[in-house]
Amino acid sequence: MKGGLLLVLILAFSFCLYTQEGGQDMSPEEEAWMSYMQPGAEHAMLAKMVGEWKVETKMWMDPMGEPEFSEGKSVNEMILGGRYLLQTHSGAITMGMPMEGVGIDAYDNVKKKYISLWMDNFGTGVAYAEGEWDEEAGGIVCWGTMTDPMTGSDLEYKMVITHHDEDHSQMDMYMVMGDEEIKSMEMHYKRVK
């Protein structure tokens, strides 16, 4: 089934390229596909994170306690023709373990939403979030879920990504408990030159 869908998508893409290069008018379906697959300004914003970054992380296991501090690095690249940002993280020992993680950030041209996927060696699940640019926050605000290993249910979280300048970015994460947002993580990115 997946192979058949992939073949249909490849044929649709090939036909769109053929009709575009041949100067032929495209159908509404072809135009929709071309619009969907074209990287835009939002993808260029994601590309600002390309490169190697030193990462300083504060993590709160107890919101009333002192945060645990760790350092690491993130190596980021745009993949699949500038459509997705692939982040590969490695960090110092956290909770007695070295941290490794992979993230993929995207912008869906149809949904008009940023999408974030995160996987690391602290679990076997995938954290998934969607969001939009928020003028008041000065960055991308995403809402998502991850698995709570204690209950097996989903934990809700909020993530705010801000780019202070070309060499400094920040990600803040909040656990959402009803109407309350409790800060659980703060990551500061500094570009390695």
pLDDT in the model for residue 121: 92
pLDDT in the model for residue 161: 95
Rounded CA-CA distance 46/82 in Å is 9
Query: Which residue ranges make up each domain of the chain?
Result: 2-38, 42-191
Cβ neighbourhood burial of 36 (10 Å; 0-12, 13-18, 19+): exposed
Least confident of 15-29, 89-103, 178-192: 15-29
Distances in Å between the Cα of 62 and the Cα atoms of 59, 66, 107 are: 9, 8, 33
Distances in Å between the Cα of 95 and the Cα atoms of 29, 100, 121 are: 51, 13, 12
Rounded mean pLDDT, 77-102: 90
pLDDT in the model for residue 95: 66
Question: How many CB atoms sit inside 10 A of residue 118's CB?
Answer: 21
Residue pair 135/160 in contact (Cβ under 8 Å)? The answer is: no
Least confident of 12-26, 117-131, 167-181: 12-26
List, for residues 130-150, the tens digit of each pLDDT value: 999 999 988 999 999 999 999
End-to-end Cα, the chain, rounded Å: 46
Question: pLDDT-based confidence at 92, cuts 50/70/90?
Answer: confident
Rounded mean pLDDT, 166-170: 96
Residue pair 161/139 in contact (Cβ under 8 Å)? The answer is: yes
CATH superfamily of 42-191: Calycin beta-barrel core domain (2.40.128.20)
For 57-86, the DSSP string reads: EEE-SSTTSPPEEEEEEEEEEEETTTTEEE
Question: How many CB atoms sit inside 10 A of residue 141's CB?
Answer: 19
